[in-house]
């Protein structure tokens, strides 16, 4: 044992842990082997028992389906249905063969092979009898086929099912045997592991106790020597003499104790000099700071002039009084105040910012430290407070805090580290994004951003800019809880420490999601309005606004759609009035020809001026009347075009309703088709039930066959009607396209009416100029020549305009 005791502590612990580790490694190997065996057994159960049971279930389902197909074959009365059922039977035969082949690969016992042989023999006998049944059914000997199915064929089917049931029971027994064997191995392994764990635990406890006893004994000896040294007994030495770490520690301690004993004498002299130095420092502090001394019960012993000036007292007013005279009465009666003095009595330092009451109750804030002073024996015998008046700073700080609180109530506020980690957030921010503080604290800012943005160089530059102390503000899209979109107007503000370095970032934000949604709705509405108006500018009056909007935007949508409707009506009316405009143009042409003849006569002979003036007056009057009539015709043409547009709109609406009704009829026909299909299925099921009923259900089978025929005829009629309805829908669509083309033609007519109106305005102006010329001729015959030339020019323009209106 002495050799073990002298081993280094690390090797002792290594031996202990190695011993325990060996036991646990052996235990782990045993556990792995056991688990591997259990895994193999589970795999065997799955491949050899569970998969075959599934195959057998499929096999039983195929035999039942085959029996159903035989029944349907017997119930079928048309060649197509008989052929279809025969195909189904052949398909199931092939599937049964495939399942049996697959099952051959997982047979592990002779009992299974025997059952498989019984199944194949029974299947062969079943097919032989089934062939007779199908032959009778094919020859429409339905009663004989049904009787044979219920007797001989049913007996063969039961034999097949018995073989399948035997295979299922055999696989279940194999699975049960595997399970019981696994349980036995599991119980044996569990007992072995428990015994091995007990052995490993016993060895581990023995080794640990041996190592612990040695380590604790040596450490206790060194600890006792340390405690004696702490008490001031510098002559006490440790008795541990081993060569490992604890023995070396004891030897080093003994050397240290001897050194300390020698240094103690020298230190006593140094302490005297140090005390004198401390007194000088204390006096210097007293000149620059407020200083006051207390006994351990809080009674004032003395105070310097700075303290007295700060609180407004004389020394005689406070000496012998308790410290509580400077405090709020509510605080001095609290347990916290009592704990404050208990802490100082224990020799513990206390510092902070304190609210104190000066003379007359004035409020004074001090940055102070309470310093317990020890005597030569190390016991506290008084407390000195050094204080600085920070009332002005506190007032400014309170003002800043008040502003921050107000800002915190009005806006969403969140703070980040320079790496983007969330420090804290106020309730406004949490409510805006839908989180709790615990869900975001310690998370990165990127949790509020789109992943595509956070992986970009722009996002990295954003945080680099903030780390440089640069302000950032704008409108941002953020992601709230559950991925909801939130838009905020925010500013990111780098905060500097006392050295001017950025140490955190504070964001102030306002939720503008509702404004952003309103803006998006406005932009969508304006874009749709632009499309509708652009289409109208290109002559397409069918591009109405279809979006859903709120308030004024919905009114604007309704106004634009109404304008499109009214414009279509106007174009239709103008088109109907084109003939009337052409007639008016013909009348204007005749009037202009008459005016041209009279003007020529006026130019040929000035001596006939008076007579010609009368004729010119008549001509001008007639021209004005013609212009007035043309204007009235143009107005009538516009009204007629409006009426035509309204009629066209009604025609489009009527075609739309016809189209809608046709689609509804098509839907109804589809429902009728589905009902016919379901009726057919019900008739088939009824026929099956009638066949099972035998002679009693023969009449019901005939009725079911008739119902099936009616259902098939209904389905055929429904398909034909549906085809006619689809053709009608196509014709209505073609009619709508023709009406749309008519709208474009009406737009061209509106352009022509506008040109007619402009020409009529020119004619009216020409008539006014002619009347003015006649007045001048009446005043001065000398200007007749100039007036005649002007009239001739106006007549030519009018004639040209009238010709263009034809």
Strand ordering across the sheet containing 300-303 = 300-303, 290-294, 380-389, 363-374, 350-357
Q: Is the pLDDT assigned to residue 349 strictly greater than 60?
A: yes
Domain 411-511 has CATH 3.30.450.20: yes
What is the C-alpha separation between 405 and 426, in angstroms, rounded? 10
Single out the residue of 119, 121, 133, 142 nearest to residue 63, CA to CA: 119
Q: Do domains 289-397 and 411-511 have the same CATH topology?
A: yes
What is the C-alpha separation between 462 and 457, in angstroms, rounded? 9
Indicate the domain borders of the chain.
Answer: 10-218, 289-397, 411-511, 528-576, 578-804
Single out the residue of 488, 484, 486 nearest to residue 508, CA to CA: 488
CATH architecture label of 10-218:
Up-down Bundle (1.20)
Structure tokens of 167?
Answer: 């295979």
The pLDDT score that the predictor gives to residue 635 is 62
Mean pLDDT of 794-800: 63
Burial of 696 (0-12, 13-18, 19+ CB in 10 A): exposed
The pLDDT score that the predictor gives to residue 236 is 76
What is the C-alpha separation between 276 and 269, in angstroms, rounded? 12
* DSSP labels, 316-379: HHHTTSBGGGGS-HHHHTSHHHHHHHHHHHTT--EEEEEEEE-GGG-EEEEEEEEEEEE-TTS-
CA angle 504, 508, 514 (to 5 degrees): 145
- Tens digits of per-residue pLDDT, 686-709? 666 666 666 655 565 665 666 666
Q: Is the pLDDT assigned to residue 638 strictly greater than 80?
A: no
What is the C-alpha separation between 353 and 551, in angstroms, rounded? 59
- Tens digits of per-residue pLDDT, 26-57? 767 777 776 776 666 666 666 666 677 788 88
Burial of 219 (0-12, 13-18, 19+ CB in 10 A): middle
Structure tokens of 558?
Answer: 């309704």
DSSP-based three-state secondary structure for 444: strand
Residue 414 pairs in a beta bridge with 425, 507
The pLDDT score that the predictor gives to residue 202 is 77
Residue 494 pairs in a beta bridge with 505
Burial of 37 (0-12, 13-18, 19+ CB in 10 A): middle
- How many Å is the Cα radius of gyration of the chain? 56
Residue linked to tokens 């509580």: 324
The overall average pLDDT reported for the chain is 75
DSSP-based three-state secondary structure for 240: coil
- Tens digits of per-residue pLDDT, 728-774? 666 656 655 655 665 565 556 556 545 655 655 665 565 566 556 55
Single out the residue of 96, 91, 88, 89 nearest to residue 56, CA to CA: 96
Higher pLDDT, residue 426 or 667: 426
- Largest interatomic CA distance in the chain: 165
CB contact burial 153-171 (16+ within 10 A = b; e otherwise): beebbebbbebbebbbebb
The pLDDT score that the predictor gives to residue 772 is 65
User: Residue 440 in contact with residue 422, Cβ under 8 Å?
Assistant: yes
Structure tokens of 203?
Answer: 């060895």
Q: What percentage of the chain reaches a pLDDT higher than 90?
A: 20
> Residue 696: enclosing H or E segment and its boundaries?
none
What is the C-alpha separation between 203 and 196, in angstroms, rounded? 11
* DSSP labels, 456-512: SHHHHHHHHHHHTT--EEEEEEEE-GGG-EEEEEEEEEEEE-TTS-EEEEEEEEEE-
The pLDDT score that the predictor gives to residue 166 is 86
The pLDDT score that the predictor gives to residue 707 is 62
Q: Is the pLDDT assigned to residue 578 strictly greater than 50?
A: no
Tell me how far apart the terminal alpha carbons of the chain are, to the nearest angstrom: 136
What is the C-alpha separation between 235 and 228, in angstroms, rounded? 9
Question: pTM for the whole thing?
Answer: 0.30
The pLDDT score that the predictor gives to residue 255 is 76
Fold of 578-804: Helix Hairpins (1.10.287)
Q: Is the pLDDT assigned to residue 173 strictly greater than 60?
A: yes
DSSP-based three-state secondary structure for 441: coil
User: Residue 23 in contact with residue 200, Cβ under 8 Å?
Assistant: yes
Q: Is the pLDDT assigned to residue 685 strictly greater than 70?
A: no
- Tens digits of per-residue pLDDT, 532-552? 777 767 767 676 777 777 777
CB neighbourhood size of 574 (10 A): 31
- Tens digits of per-residue pLDDT, 60-84? 888 888 888 888 888 888 888 888 8
**Size of the chain, expressed as the number of residues it contains:** 806
- Tens digits of per-residue pLDDT, 359-411? 998 899 999 999 999 987 889 999 999 998 888 887 787 776 766 676 677 68
What is the C-alpha separation between 53 and 131, in angstroms, rounded? 29
Query: What number does CATH give the domain 289-397?
Result: 3.30.450.20
Range scoring the smallest mean pLDDT among 69-83, 285-299, 345-359, 610-624: 610-624
User: Residue 59 in contact with residue 164, Cβ under 8 Å?
Assistant: yes
Range scoring the smallest mean pLDDT among 221-225, 274-278, 343-347, 426-430: 274-278
SS3 content of the chain, % helix, strand, coil (to 5): 75, 10, 15
Phi, psi of 314 (to 5 degrees): -100, 155
Rounded to 10 degrees, what is the CA torsion of 588, 594, 599, 605?
180
The pLDDT score that the predictor gives to residue 581 is 47
Range scoring the smallest mean pLDDT among 333-337, 524-528, 567-571, 635-639: 635-639
What's 683's DSSP letter?
H
What is the C-alpha separation between 325 and 307, in angstroms, rounded? 14
């Amino acid at each position: 044992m002495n050799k073990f005791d002298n081993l280094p502590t690390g090797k002792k612990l290594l031996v202990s842990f190695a011993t325990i580790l060996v036991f646990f490694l052996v235990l782990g190997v045993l556990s792995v082997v056991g688990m591997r065996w259990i895994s193999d057994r589970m795999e065997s159960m799955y491949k050899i028992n569970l998969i075959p049971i599934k195959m057998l279930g499929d096999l039983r389902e195929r035999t039942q389906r085959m029996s159903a197909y035989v029944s349907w074959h017997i119930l079928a009365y048309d060649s197509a249905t008989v052929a279809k059922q025969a195909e189904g039977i052949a398909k199931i035969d092939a599937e049964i063969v495939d399942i049996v082949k697959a099952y051959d690969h997982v047979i592990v016992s002779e009992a299974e092979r025997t059952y498989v042989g019984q199944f194949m023999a029974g299947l062969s006998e079943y097919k032989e009898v089934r062939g007779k049944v199908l032959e009778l059914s094919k020859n429409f000997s339905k009663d004989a086929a049904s009787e044979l199915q219920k007797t001989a064929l049913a007996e063969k089917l039961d034999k097949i099912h018995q073989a399948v049931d035997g295979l299922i029971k055999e696989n279940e027994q194999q699975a049960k045997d595997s399970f019981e064997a696994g349980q036995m191995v599991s119980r044996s392994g569990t007992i072995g592991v428990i015994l091995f764990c007990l052995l490993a635990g016993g060895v581990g406890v023995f080794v640990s106790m041996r190592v612990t006893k040695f380590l604790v004994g040596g450490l206790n000896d060194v600890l006792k020597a340390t405690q004696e040294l702490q008490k001031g007994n510098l002559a006490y030495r440790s008795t541990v003499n081993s060569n490992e770490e604890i023995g070396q520690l004891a030897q080093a301690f003994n050397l240290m104790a001897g050194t300390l004993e020698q240094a103690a004498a020298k230190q006593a002299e140094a302490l005297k000099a140090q005390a004198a130095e401390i007194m000088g420092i204390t006096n210097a502090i007293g000149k620059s700071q407020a200083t006051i001394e207390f006994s351990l019960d809080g009674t004032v012993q003395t105070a310097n002039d700075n303290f007295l000036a700060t609180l407004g007292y004389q020394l005689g007013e406070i000496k012998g009084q308790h410290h509580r005279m400077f405090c709020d009465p509510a605080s001095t009666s609290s347990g916290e105040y009592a704990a404050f003095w208990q802490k100082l009595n224990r020799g513990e330092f206390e510092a902070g910012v304190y609210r104190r009451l000066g003379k007359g109750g004035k409020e004074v804030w001090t940055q102070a430290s309470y310093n317990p002073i020890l005597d030569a024996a190390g016991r506290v015998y008084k407390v000195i407070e050094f204080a600085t008046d920070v009332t002005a700073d506190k007032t400014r700080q309170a003002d800043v805090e008040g502003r921050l609180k107000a800002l915190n109530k009005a806006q969403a506020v969140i703070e980040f580290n320079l790496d983007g980690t969330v420090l804290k957030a106020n309730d406004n921010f949490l409510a805006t994004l839908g989180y709790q503080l615990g869900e975001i604290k310690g998370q990165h800012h990127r949790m509020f951003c789109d992943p595509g943005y956070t992986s970009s160089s722009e996002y990295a530059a954003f945080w680099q800019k903030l780390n440089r102390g640069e302000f950032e503000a704008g409108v941002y899209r953020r992601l709230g809880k559950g991925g909801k979109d939130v838009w905020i107007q925010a500013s990111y503000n780098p905060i500097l420490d006392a050295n001017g370095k950025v140490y955190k970032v504070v964001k102030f934000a306002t939720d503008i999601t509702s404004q952003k949604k309103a803006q998006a709705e406005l932009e969508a509405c304006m874009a749709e309005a632009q499309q509708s108006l652009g289409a109208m500018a290109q002559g397409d009056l069918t591009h109405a606004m279809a979006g859903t909007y709120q308030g004024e935007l919905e009114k604007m949508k309704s106004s634009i759609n109404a304008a499109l409707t009214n414009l279509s009506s106007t174009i239709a009316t103008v088109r109907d009035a084109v003939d009337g405009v052409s007639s008016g143009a013909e009348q204007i042409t005749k009037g202009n020809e008459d005016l041209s003849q009279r003007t020529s006569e006026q130019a040929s002979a000035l001596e006939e001026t008076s007579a010609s003036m009368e004729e010119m007056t008549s001509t001008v009057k007639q021209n004005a009347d013609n212009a007035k009539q043309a204007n009235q015709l143009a107005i009538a043409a516009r009204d007629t075009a409006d009426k035509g547009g309204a009629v066209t709109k009604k025609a489009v609406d009527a075609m739309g309703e016809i189209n809608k009704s046709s689609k509804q009829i098509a839907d109804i026909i589809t429902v009728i088709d589905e009902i016919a299909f379901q009726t057919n299925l019900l008739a088939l099921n009824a026929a099956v039930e009638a066949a099972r009923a035998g002679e009693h259900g023969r009449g019901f089978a005939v009725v079911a066959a008739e119902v099936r025929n009616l259902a098939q005829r209904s389905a055929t009629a429904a398909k034909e009607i549906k085809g006619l309805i689809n053709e009608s829908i196509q014709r209505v669509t073609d009619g709508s396209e023709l009406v749309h083309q008519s709208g474009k033609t009406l737009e061209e007519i509106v352009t022509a009416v506008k040109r007619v109106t402009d020409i009529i305005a020119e004619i009216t102006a020409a008539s006014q100029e002619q009347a003015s010329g006649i007045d001048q001729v009446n005043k001065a015959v000398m200007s007749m020549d100039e007036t005649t030339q002007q009239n001739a020019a106006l007549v030519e323009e009018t004639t040209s305009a009238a010709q263009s209106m034809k």
